[in-house]
Amino acid sequence: MKVKVGDVVLPGDFCEEIVTAGDKTKIILGPGLKKEVDGIYVSKAGTLRKRAPNTYWVDSYQKRYIPSRGENVIGIVVQKAGDIFRVDVGGSCTASLSYLSFEGATKKNRPKVVIGDVVYAKMLVASKDMEPEIVCVDSHGKKGRLGVLEDGFVFKCSLNLIRKILNPDCPLINSLKNQWPFELAAGMNGRIWIKANTLRETIALGNAILGSEYLSNEEIKSMCTNIAGILAGHIS
């Protein structure tokens, strides 16, 4: 069926709008869109979206993570194998993380990473046929925001929720950030790591994040004030 931007689309639908736009300028086809010889076809069920000037993608509900290059993910170290760590990132196979790809690591000075550690890392290589590779440094050799996540609490959610809370228009983080001290790491692989000073605060933060999945922006705001109120003891 022919579809246009903003429609709910199913695999097999095609979009002529993108083809005509492609005659004039370069077009970026995001996840869920495939270029075939005779047009652009949809390969995932969801909403067809466009971002000006030239990006199209399908916003779909998904829980399975497929590694792709450049994404920040949260992984759990499951094995030490010689020079590399095997890290579970939720993909079809484990990712490899070299012990040299930490800030300040050398052959003599190995980073202190043990099995069971949670790491926040960037996908460096992600291809269909190969094991993905992740790193904990940027191109300058600095760790930046990456590295081992100490303490805290990890939970899983859908990949959509990650994109929703990281969207600059989403009020969740803005309404929570002035309430109590907390730290958060969201991996594009559907894992969130949170850390707060007390157990109550951690649970409240986790509930706020998970509860916001199917709420509108207004509802998120009222839920956050409600949670903050309960936590402060105004409402019992």
Beta partners for 194?
153, 184
Answer yes or no whether residue 221 interacts with another protein by CB under 8 A.
no
Token representation of residue 22: 């492609």
Tell me the chain's radius of gyration from C-alpha atoms.
Answer: 21
Answer yes or no whether residue 206 interacts with another protein by CB under 8 A.
no
Return the residue of 95, 186, 204, 227 that touches another protein, per CB under 8 A: 186
Token representation of residue 72: 């920040």
- Residue placing its CB nearer to another protein in the complex, 84 or 160: 160
Q: Is 87 exposed, middle or buried (0-12, 13-18, 19+ CB in 10 A)?
A: buried
Encoded one letter per residue, x for contact with another protein by CB under 8 A and - for no contact, window 43-72 reads: ------x-x---x-x--------x-xxxxx
Distance between CA 88 and CA 94 in Å, rounded?
A: 5
Judged by CB under 8 A, how many residues of this single chain contact another protein? 51
- Residue placing its CB nearer to another protein in the complex, 79 or 167: 167
Q: Which residues make Cβ contacts (< 8 Å) with residue 203, sequence separation at least 6?
A: none
Q: What is the binding site for another protein (CB under 8 A)?
A: 22-31, 33-35, 37, 40, 49, 51, 55, 57, 66, 68-72, 120, 126, 144-146, 162-163, 166-168, 173, 176-178, 180-188, 195-197
